[in-house]
Amino acid sequence: MGDSRTGPEVGMGREHHRPRRILVTGGAGFIGSHLVRLLLQSLPEAQVINLDLLTYAGDLGRLDDLSHLAGTPRLTHVQGDICDGERVRALLGEGEGVDTVMHLAAESHVDRSIAGPAVFIQTNITGTFTLLEACREAWTGRGDVRFHHVSTDEVRGELLPGEPPFTEASPYAPNSPYAASKASSDHLVRAYHRTYGLPTVISSCSNNYGPHQHDEKFIPTVIRACLEGKPIPIYGDGMNVRDWIHVEDHCRALLAIVQGGRTGSDYLVGARDERGNLEVVETICRLMDEERPQAAPHRRLIRFVDDRPGHDLRYAVDPSRAEAELGWTPRIPFPEGIRRLIRHAVRGADR
């Protein structure tokens, strides 16, 4: 986030923010639902308000195990649009008032952004602006508040083979409408910190995987194809590289950042586990062979398809700042996490 411009916090030790009443946007989404669960488990005195429009990507069923808390002071579900300023302002001011916003609501699928970018501009840019404005109004004069904006590694564009991973100082160079909309929202958050003194932090994470991810994403698509014996589509030659992190590790990082991150700072979150798309598919196929040997070899299902426009070759981030300042490190290695995910998927399909 450009430490030369972040004000007097730079160079200071870890800050301490104690979230008490948390507004999570997009809490019925893949990452958001895991975050809501972690917040309730880790902060026993905190109250969580989940604001989610419940579009195709949002599903309260992801939080069925917390149904006993829904409607209690600990967990409130609100179906609503982050672009609805009146609704957002009302939520911020209810009761004792929200002191923490963790903003995850976003349109996030690159292919969808290529086919129809308008909704990405509306949700990711206008929605973030609406939240920032509401917080600026509600939090004037308060010092116990924090706005945590959750972004993506894609805002910094692509890396070539052999180039060092992105750091917080790497320039922005988004290459898809999705990445550009997230970059724009990052800049708005930065501007509200710099101009208005809004206490903000930004985190940008590498590719997530784990339970309850939407079917349109890469790893769920591959697993579903294996289960159904259908072709596994791989863009181009399958050599595009991503750094994969388990969603539970990402959410632990989000909690550490919102509690201890320096306001005005940017944190990169990743697992230092780069894998080519073809390698990921072959790993899944090998594990599916073990779980369902009668359908082996699953690798026979692989089909190379035309690459998508502007497909970035490689993403990788250096999470050293988060590790050094917050004491966070990922715990779930990719082989363990993906094996666990596949076993869960096979059990579910066999019921």
State yes or no: pLDDT of 95 exceeds 90: no
State yes or no: pLDDT of 229 exceeds 70: yes
The helix or strand, by DSSP H or E, that contains position 103, with its residue range, turns out to be strand 100-103
Residue 14: the pLDDT is 67
Residue 4: the pLDDT is 32
pLDDT, one tens digit per residue, over 157-186 is 999 999 999 999 999 999 999 999 999 999
What is the three-class DSSP state of 151?
Answer: strand
Task: Flag whether 293 is in a domain.
Answer: no
Task: Flag whether 85 is in a domain.
Answer: yes
pTM of the predicted protein model: 0.93
Owning domain of residue 155: 3-209+246-273+312-331
**Tokens matching residue 253:** 């990082």
- Write down the catalytic residue from 153, 168, 186, 318: 153
CATH of residue 267: 3.40.50.720
- Rounded distance, CA 326 to CA 330, Å? 12
Residue 331 makes CB contacts below 8 A (sequence gap 6+) with 248, 249, 252
Q: How many domains does the chain have?
A: 1
Please, which pLDDT band fits residue 94 given cuts at 50, 70 and 90? confident
* 153 annotated active-site: yes
Task: Flag whether 145 is in a domain.
Answer: yes
* 235 annotated active-site: no
- Write down the catalytic residue from 81, 107, 154, 186: 154
- How many C-beta atoms lie closer than 10 Å to residue 111's C-beta? 13
Task: Flag whether 305 is in a domain.
Answer: no
- Summarize the confidence of residues 259-281 as an average pLDDT: 97
What beta strand segments (E) does the chain contain?
21-25, 47-52, 75-79, 100-103, 146-152, 200-205, 207-209, 232-235, 241-246, 265-269, 274-276, 302-305
- Summarize the confidence of residues 256-277 as an average pLDDT: 97
Task: Flag whether 301 is in a domain.
Answer: no
The helix or strand, by DSSP H or E, that contains position 350, with its residue range, turns out to be helix 334-350
State yes or no: pLDDT of 156 exceeds 90: yes
Task: Flag whether 346 is in a domain.
Answer: no
Of 236, 247, 218, 271, the residue nearest 109 (C-alpha) = 218
Task: Flag whether 36 is in a domain.
Answer: yes
User: Do 344 and 211 touch, CB atoms closer than 8 A?
Assistant: yes
What is the three-class DSSP state of 99?
Answer: coil
Strand arrangement, sheet containing 47-52: 75-79, 47-52, 21-25, 100-103, 146-152, 200-205, 265-269
- Write down the catalytic residue from 178, 192, 209, 267: 178
DSSP designation for 157: -
* 84 annotated active-site: no
Task: Flag whether 64 is in a domain.
Answer: yes
